[in-house]
Amino acid sequence: MISNQTLQKTVDSLSQMTKMDFAVLDPDGGIAVSTFPEAKEYSSEAVAFFESTAESQVLSGAQFFKVIDEGRTEYILIVRGEADDLTTIGKIAAFQLEQLLVAYKERFDKDNFVKNLLLDNLLLVDIYNRAKKLHVDIEARRVVMIVETGEDKDGDELDRVRNVFGGKKKDFVTAVDERNIIVVKELLQNETTEDIEKTAAVIVDAFKDKGRVRVSYGTEVADLKGVSRSYKEAGMALDVGKIFFADRDVIAYSQLGIGRLIYQLPIPLCKMFIEEIFEKKSPSEFDEETLTTINKFFENSLNVSETSRQLYIHRNTLVYRLDKLQKSTGLDLRVFEDAITFKIALMVVEYMNYMQDNI
């Protein structure tokens, strides 16, 4: 069914162009939309007209038309006015509403198809058969993007994202839950990962007046059956990005690095690893100065001189802090193997804390 907002815009435009009054009623006589307040007075006539075999009829000084889709009457259109060509205007208006029904049904069918495709609910033969029926290209480069808008929605999020793509028919914008909007973007021949990043940045910018949104995307796929994989990758990128790349608004599955591996570890195994590395002392117990020193040391690729310079401390002070950390953990961050172990351990702790908070 057509949304009431679209119906109202349609009859308002028709009314302005023709100087006529219009009303759209459902088969039970309920008012869907109208341009005049007396429309409800025609409810009983609308029901009687619906039950008749006539496709148009004059009742109570107004002309009634049936809006038909696939042999079934979806709406009753009422046209009221003084023009000599009222019948012609009414037929044109009814035809326009019928075309809107066709367009909305096609969008609904495609939207439903894409949702089932994303959720991996279709057999391979069903994917190809339904794609052919809906005129969706089977072999085309695509990537799935997830736009996390949060829980405080006001209903215009889908439209904002659709506006970014300018109504391109080969790009699908839909939603499968309350928090996220899904984009299945078809890539042009010359589009690259850099172009995807730019598109994601435009989406983020489109929501700057509503607060922060995050955009993630999976890897490129060559045909429809790979879309669900790209969707799963985008979902993982969104979760992993929150843990290890919290400062980024856009994150790609291909950029997750070791975070992708850690995210798939079972929590009991993570706990065992942390206890083995730190014994009873958790990294969360380190003071702010120690954590800052550790992070800055990693940022500078274990370079003592550069780290001390950026921390505005003497080189010997940094060495003292690293020695102190070695005594408490048994790991010397100046040794490459120990540094890797420590870095992974910190990431595992971040992952465990995130899972604990969200469970």
Taking only the tens place, the pLDDT of each residue in 309-340 is: 999 999 999 999 999 888 888 889 999 999 99
pTM value is: 0.69
Residue 155 pLDDT class (50, 70, 90 cuts): low
**Neighbouring residues of 176: CB distance < 8 A, sequence distance ≥ 6:** 115, 118, 119, 182
Please tell me whether residues 290 and 215 are part of one structural domain.
no
Instruction: Give the E-state strand segments of 107-171 in sequence order.
Output: 139-148
Burial 294-329 (b: 16+ CB within 10 A, else e): beebeebeeebeebbeebeeeeeebeebbeebeeeb
pLDDT value of position 167: 64
Give the structural domain span for 158: 119-260
Please tell me whether residues 253 and 303 are part of one structural domain.
no
Question: What's the distance, Cα to Cα, between the start and end of the chain in Å?
Answer: 39
End residue of a domain, out of 216, 240, 260: 260
Q: What is the mean pLDDT of the chain?
A: 89
**β-pair partners for 182:** 146, 174
Please tell me whether residues 67 and 30 are part of one structural domain.
yes
Please tell me whether residues 137 and 237 are part of one structural domain.
yes
pLDDT value of position 177: 80
End residue of a domain, out of 226, 244, 260: 260
For residue 165, being part of any structural domain is answered with yes
pLDDT of residue 103 exceeding 90: no
Element containing residue 128 per DSSP (H, E): helix 124-133
For residue 112, being part of any structural domain is answered with no
Instruction: Give the E-state strand segments of the chain in sequence order.
Output: 21-25, 31-34, 56-59, 62-69, 72-80, 139-148, 172-174, 180-186, 214-217, 221-223, 250-252
Joined together, the tokens standing for residue 86 give 């009222």
Taking only the tens place, the pLDDT of each residue in 259-291 is: 999 999 999 999 998 888 887 666 767 888 888
User: Higher confidence at residue 115 or residue 252?
Assistant: 252
For residue 306, being part of any structural domain is answered with yes
Specify the number of domains making up the chain: 3
Residue 351 pLDDT class (50, 70, 90 cuts): very high
Residue 209 pLDDT class (50, 70, 90 cuts): confident
Please tell me whether residues 253 and 293 are part of one structural domain.
no
Please tell me whether residues 134 and 199 are part of one structural domain.
yes
Residue 153 pLDDT class (50, 70, 90 cuts): low
Please tell me whether residues 229 and 273 are part of one structural domain.
no
For residue 113, being part of any structural domain is answered with no
Q: How far apart are CA 319 and CA 325, in angstroms?
A: 10
How far does Cα 83 stand from its chain's mean position?
A: 48
